[in-house]
Structure formats: C-alpha cells, structure tokens
Amino acid sequence: MAATPGTGQAFEEAIRVTPVSSHRYSANLRDEWCIGTVPHGGYSTAVLYRLALTHFAHTHPTLYNAPATPISIQLAFLRRTAARPAVLTVQDTKLGARTSIIHVTLSQVREKKGPSTNDVEDELEAKITGYITVSPATAETGISAETAWALHPPAPGGTGPNGRVNLSNLGRTGRDGNWVRVKAPFPQFRRAAQQVELFGPDSGSKGPRVVDQWARFRPGGDKNARWTNEAVAYLTDMFPMALDGLDTMTSESGVGQENKPAKYWYPTVTLNIDIKKRLPAQGPEWLYSRVQTKVVRDGRTDMDVVVLDEEGDVVALSTQVGLVVSASRNVGKRELKQKL
C-alpha cells in the first residue's frame, strides 16, 4: 500500500501493523531504526501508536464517527527488543463515548539462553507493555484557556521577524543566527538518529541540562517527508545532542578515555507522552523540541521534552526514565530460540 504523500514511504513501511485477528497484530521492527542492535524507543512507540489506529479501525470501526487517535501513551520497556518480527496484542480496557483505553503489548521470540521447547507461543516474551488512551477529534469538546506558559529560558533567536529563527534560511544554508546543522554523534551506533535532520545552537548551554533543537523528518533520506503524528512519538525520544552532552559529562568525570566522549547506551525504562495537538494530513516540515535533564545519578537519568510547531503551539509533552550503561551491552550478534 502506498504511503500518503509527504509521510515518507520508508517510515510507513517501518511502522506497518498488519491485523492477524481482532486483538492480535504483527509488525517487523527495522534495523535502520536501531540504536546498536536495539530498535529506538521512540520508533517502537510510533509502531504502537500505529497499532492503536489499526486496532480501532479493524476491530471497532463503528465505535466513533471519526478515527480514534492516541492522546496519551504510557509505556514500560521491559526487555530489549530486536530488529525482527514482533507480535502485538491489545486488550480493550475501556471503550467509552469520549475516550477509550487499551492495554498493548509488543512481544518477540525469546533470545536463546537455554533449551528450546516445541511450542512457539511459549517462546514469546513481552518486550514493551503499557496503556494508550485514544479519542476521536469530534469528541474533543470543552473549555480551552490560555495559560501564559512560555519556554524559560527563551529559545535562542535567529534572523527572522521579532528575532525568531528563519527556518527557510536555516534549511537552505545550514545556519541562521547562532543555529547550525548538527550531525548526530556515533552514526553507525545511533542509526535511528540518521532519520532526522537536526539543527541546534552552536554556542548553547554546556552539558545535557537544556537542549534546543529544530528538526526536519528525513526517513530514508526522503527530503519530501513531513512530520506525522506517529513521527512525533519518535521525535519525543530523539535528542542526540542531549545524549552527546551526557557523553561529554561522563568523560569529564573520568569515565571516558583520553578526554574523548565515552560511548554510552541510554535505554528507555518508561516513556510517557501527552499529545496536545493532532497534526494535519500534510504535516509540518519543522518541529522544535526542548529537552531537559534534571538529575543523572547512579546510572539513571530523566528526560523532559516539549515539542512545539512553528507557531509555538505545544504538539506533545514527554517524560521518561532512562539508564546510562556501556554501549558494549548493545552490540554483537543476538540469537533466537525459534523464529516466528
């Protein structure tokens, strides 16, 4: 099936979810969306976002008069996933007039650690599980109010009107004011970061505590791709500049070698996303993210992410708990007990 123009064919294929039965689906996690040997957490979340859409369209097509789209996602990453087929299951926890809640599980064949059984079902183990709350846009009615919330400190400016970033100039030349095109570090290890084009201040704050970035979606190098709702889920977990800051801090504290940034893996433990704004079918070219880390302690860190559009409207809010471990734990060949 062809992708909607502007969504990026490579991404559509990577998040494809196929119905198997009313509450059981299949997907195939892709290597090019991995960090090391593990599919990127935001990419896996995008697959589960698509699962929610597919489930309500396939199993509950008449429940609402408009597509039921996720408005809240809470996930726990139980075990490492892998770039291979996955089984997705759904439990209808609540089916309501305005909101519905489903419990989702992404399972894969267990990695080889001992004698195998003959029952393939026994070899499946849950890798990611959590809850997704959905609502159709037609049911989203009620009070709206301005809160006067704003970024603090303000995002760095550019050469555009009122000191804003001139995104056209930034995209064309790779620089506007203090903003420059940024290459994600360790591209062979963090392959999922190569699916997006990132820009950030070239003289911003030190370390990973506050990171500002503008991003254009480039799945498979597709320059015509635009941000979609599923891609926003990926973006809430895509902040290589913040991770580079963590690498630098650990090097400065003596963990790295020869004053070079240490190569670490930052696996997600839990991820929560509050989706504030649905994107149009022909999504925007640019989205802004602010990423903040408050505490890094005992190999555990936090990430707080705000995603805004070009008009400054909040698109999504995200918080997560992550670990800081050696990249050596996320390399090498992984074997299965059985194949799906």
pLDDT tens sequence across 182-239: 988 777 888 999 999 999 997 654 444 688 999 999 999 999 999 999 999 999 999 8
Name the H helices within the chain: 9-14, 41-59, 120-123, 167-173, 229-235, 240-252
pLDDT tens sequence across 78-136: 999 999 999 999 999 999 999 999 999 999 999 776 555 555 455 899 999 999 999 99
d(CA 286, CA 107): 33
Mean pLDDT: which of 73-77, 203-207, 321-325 is highest? 73-77
pLDDT tens sequence across 286-314: 999 999 998 888 989 999 999 999 999 99
Higher pLDDT, 264 or 7: 264
Give me the percent of the chain exceeding a pLDDT of 90. 64
Predicted confidence at residue 338, as pLDDT, reads 43
Domains along the chain with CATH numbers: 9-137 (2.40.160.210), 161-329 (3.10.129.10)
Residue 14 has pLDDT above 50, yes or no: yes
pTM: 0.89
Residue type, 132: I
To the nearest 10°, report the CA torsion of 68, 69, 73, 78: 80
Cα 251 off chain centre by: 26
Nearest C-alpha neighbor of 291 from the set 271, 276, 307, 270: 307
Higher pLDDT, 158 or 1: 158
pLDDT tens sequence across 120-176: 455 899 999 999 999 999 999 899 998 889 998 888 899 999 899 999 999 999 999
Nearest C-alpha neighbor of 75 from the set 44, 99, 30: 44
Lowest mean per-residue pLDDT among 173-182, 224-233, 320-329: 320-329
